[in-house]
Structure 1
């Protein structure tokens, strides 16, 4: 059997995600949200950089609302050409539909935090922390430029494969949370 390309895996796993029922999304998202909100990484962080979920992704909206309630500094991404920047939001009303139909911050202060948690999206992951994202390379570049942030990814169990091929420029998250597992890839254990 030939190894699938990133593009093939991306297409196949987007289709699988679209096929999830609202109940499957809700149940899995609640399990991941509970793990994340109970983690010492979350409890100890002041800044949470997080995308707004769409298209049956693991729900991040409830995490955003909880983080705002917990007085975290919450920032959401906006793309500018080849780069992505995060803008602080004070509530869901700070988000407007932008490019590609994605909710993004409107008229909010741009942040450049050197520490905190960065939530990283992905379509397919492997047990070694490699990820296939949406193909733009925005998060790979952002993680490389902000090594002090703890990168955490959320995935459904079926999105984690034994191994996927990766490129030299691919950045790995520090942690991957699924409904049934917490994978840690922290090289230097930032929290010991």
Structure 2
């Protein structure tokens, strides 16, 4: 997809529970020379940190694998294209999403409005309607195993 191919940095979640697996996306990003950043949660905040190999991960918040403390933080550069790949429990065709209730991605994206966004999920996670509030941020595109919603 153009948004993935054109990005020099990919900010991507490490899959957990029933989320769409991100292993192949991360490996493709590394293989094509992209920088891969994954989130680490500290209290109510989430930041992204560079991961170069699977050994850079450690057990983190909520049992989710997170970048270790030695990993450098993501610094937004307006000269480079970065793509944030969002997780979610459910989505609708208008691209509204429900996460796991922490609001981490909505807060992060509100602070970094220039970042490109996409979400990956299974078609079964697309529902008729998701209630959305003024602080909910929708991804620009949702890619499922069957469709793309823009």
Question: Which whole-Å CA distance do the structure 1 matches of 2:14 and 2:141 have between them?
Answer: 19
Q: Structure 2: where are the runs of 5+ without partners?
A: none
> Residues of 2 paired with 1:180 and 1:43: CA distance?
20
State the partner residue of 2:100. Answer: 134
The reply on whether 1:73 has 2:22 as its aligned counterpart is no
Instruction: Report SS of the residue matched to 2:106.
Output: helix
Alignment deviations for residues 36-61 of structure 1 (CA, whole Å, 9 cap, x no partner): xxx11111110100011121321101
More helix by share: 1
- Count of paired positions: 146
Query: In 2, are the aligned partners of 1:77 and 1:84 still within 8 Å (CA)?
Result: yes
Q: Does 1:111 align with 2:77?
A: no
Q: Select the structure that is richer in strand.
A: 2
Q: CA deviation at 1:152?
A: 0.7
Correspondence for 1:44: 6
Q: Matched residue of 2:14: which SS?
A: coil
Partner of 1:88: 50
CA displacement, residues 107-163 of structure 1 (integer Å, 9 cap, x when unaligned): 100112244100111101111011111100000011111111111111111111121
Structure 2 CA distance, aligned partners of 1:145 and 1:99? Answer: 22
5+ long unaligned stretches in structure 1: 1-38, 185-192
Equivalence for 1:63: 25
Residue of structure 2 in register with 1:156 after alignment: 122
The structure with the largest alpha-carbon Rg is 1
